[in-house]
Amino acid sequence: WGLYLRIDRQRLQCLNERREGSGALVFRAWEERGDRAQFVESDDDEELLFNVPFTGNVKLKGIIVMGEDDGTHPAEMRLFRNIPHMSFDDTAREPEQTFSLNRDPTGELEYPTKIARFSNVYHLSIHFPKNFGAETTKIFYIGLKGEWTEAHRHEVTICNYEASANPADHKLEQITPQTHFIS
């Protein structure tokens, strides 16, 4: 569950969180998932949207979502890939994968992703549209399982192109024709 180390925490965003910055606290080590002092709670309604940028490319294999054993636990999770700065307006589009969640107060249920759809992810959006009937949604831990590879940076290549070839640049000794003039 080590992908939490590969999250770009400066750009991580959680929409509709009650306390500013609390959405970043739920992405932590699997061993620390039992810490109930760190959680994110939705503000106006039960919806939460996480925009999770990675420091490289990720092959996402599974997700754990840990909440309370009551109505505040999210009931559905929708995953979108490679849509930076996603908003609630963008959640109307078709997700890559949707999960119906079970209550998981211990953080042991793993939801496997369709690896073919999540093999080259640099940005993951996680949308929780509803919970089990409470006014707000509360999440204590989100675990991301998968493989990380370093992003390939495409640098600018400086090239000089010839409009027409200069024969002086392309002389080869063995192909140079011998001309004989008869005078």
More confident residue, 163 or 92: 92
Among 44-58, 77-91, 132-146, 169-183, the range scoring the smallest mean pLDDT is 169-183
The rounded mean pLDDT for the chain is 87
SS3 content of the chain, % helix, strand, coil (to 5): 10, 35, 55
pLDDT confidence bin for 153, thresholds 50/70/90:
low
Whole-number Å distance between alpha carbons of 66 and 142: 6
Q: Where are the domains of the chain?
A: 3-145
Q: What is the pLDDT of residues 7-52, one digit of tens each?
A: 998 999 999 999 998 989 999 988 888 889 999 999 989 999 999 9
The number of C-alpha atoms within 13 Å of 117 and in the hemisphere containing its C-beta is: 12
- Distance, CA of 131 to CA of 107 (rounded, Å): 16
Query: What is the fold, at CATH topology level, of the domain defined by 3-145?
Result: Jelly Rolls (2.60.120)
φ, ψ dihedrals at 40, nearest 5°: -120, 140
How is residue 145 written in tokens?
A: 């399982």
Mean pLDDT of 157-175: 67
Instruction: Tell me how far apart the alpha carbons of residues 56 and 169 are, in angstroms, rounded to a whole number.
Output: 43
Q: What is the pLDDT of residue 128?
A: 96
Q: Report yes or no: 89 and 16 within 8 Å, Cβ to Cβ.
A: no
The answer, yes or no, to whether residue 180 has pLDDT greater than 80, is no
Q: Letter for the amino acid at 103?
A: R
Encode pLDDT of 45-79 as tens digits: 999 999 999 999 999 999 999 999 999 999 999 99
The stretch 88-117 carries a mean pLDDT of: 93
Q: According to the model, what pLDDT value does residue 123 have? A: 94
pLDDT class of 3 with cuts at 50, 70, 90: confident
The single residue listed with the structure tokens 């949604």 is: 137
* Measured distance between the N- and C-terminal CA atoms of the chain, rounded to whole angstroms: 87
pLDDT at residue 172, rounded to an integer: 64
Q: What pLDDT sits at residue 150?
A: 81
Instruction: Provide the pLDDT for residue 64.
Output: 94
The label of the residue with tokens 């000089």 reads 160
Q: Is the pLDDT of residue 170 over 70?
A: no
**Does residue 107 carry a pLDDT above 60?**
yes
